[in-house]
Amino acid sequence: MLKSAIFLLLTTTFLFGNDWVKVSNSVIDTKHHLRWQDTPDIQENENIWKMQKTHCKGLHLSGFNDWRLPTKDELLILANSSEAKKLFSHLNSALFWSINGDPKDDMNAFTIYMPNGHISTSDKCEKNSSLCVRSE
């Protein structure tokens, strides 16, 4: 039943040109084939990089258990889409971890500030938010 509903939403999206679709507790990026978490713990869960990686790997949401931290580029797609950000119920103005470590300093990883897409690096021991994603 859930798969039929998702298929119908994705078909409608394809026909009418919407790139982003809200489905229950997630938001789907149909153009890039990504499903983003949209649950209250986005706002409540700030932690160090390693713990956020573990959080996403352990997430069971919408019948899926293959969630992960997004790449820097995936976060930028979301941060630069006002259309997408309007669909989220729990997306806050925070600094979000990406899975990408800083190649110049293995103590840091890339972070994205969601309101404006500003890219920075943060020490992996700092506490920042996470937004889990999975490939569709």
d(C-alpha 18, C-alpha 115), whole Å: 21
d(C-alpha 44, C-alpha 117), whole Å: 21
Cβ–Cβ < 8 Å for 96, 88 = no
d(C-alpha 83, C-alpha 4), whole Å: 25
CA quadruple 58, 63, 67, 72: dihedral positive or negative?
negative
Q: How many folded domains does the chain comprise?
A: 1
Domain that holds residue 56: 2-135
The per-residue pLDDT string of the chain (136 residues; one tens digit each, 9 = 90 and over) reads: 545 444 544 444 443 357 999 998 999 999 999 999 999 888 888 999 999 999 999 999 999 999 999 999 999 999 999 999 999 998 888 999 999 999 999 999 999 999 999 999 999 999 999 999 999 9
d(C-alpha 130, C-alpha 64), whole Å: 17
- The reported pTM is 0.84
Angle at 116 between CA 53 and CA 38, to 5 degrees: 45
CATH number of the domain enclosing 100: 3.10.100.10
